[in-house]
Structure 1
């Protein structure tokens, strides 16, 4: 089954989605100045929580791999376990790539560039940043980029 997702894209995989922060006291609002100190702190916390969650899952997977053995006596059971681990390890690889994108977003926060499109310089919508905190382009710029990428792939 083919998907439209490239490696490292959160998409529909719940393991690759940013966590929902439990602090219900604050949500960025378009009524306040864009990327004010409170918004920056909110997105920094969201990115760090997402990264911590991924790293914890990776440690859990590593521990489970070290503790579990693939010594099922039945060949079919062993093949099934190996397939499950292969899928798990592919997911972890996607998460590893995602961590580099999270680190880049945290770097952009430190440099004061977070929340602005790398192509147009326009603010990225808060709704987009909420859904995809590692976004580097506005929806419009991303769509243009994907169309251009598709055209160059088709040539």
Structure 2
């Protein structure tokens, strides 16, 4: 529970507690806090037992830790009755996102098409400075729709 608290923090908390409560009241405060924590644990344990009893024998292997989403997913992926590992391994998220981005920006989906176009342009002797081309705005042709501005919407 307190795995990330170091010795220096504990010493600082003890000094702060002595300054706030004083050395004469500190033992009683510690007893009250420990009694309250013990009551909360007992209440939690009895609530868990009541829930297990009400669920019946079908849920005898039910663990409350399984309600944690990370542990639940990890347990289901380890079980793998549905073939989720095959689906997860067959899905390349970066490739899919690049294809969607290319489609949105109007670029060709295949990198082989763009590389062949670049090779054809360089073989024809047409050398274009890419910095100048990107700095100058393109003028749409007569029948082209106006450019889409994502920031304007």
Give the alignment's TM-score, normalised by structure 1: 0.26
Larger Rg belongs to: 2
Relative contact order, higher structure (CA 8 A, sep 6+): 1
Give the alignment's TM-score, normalised by structure 2: 0.26
Higher helix share: 2
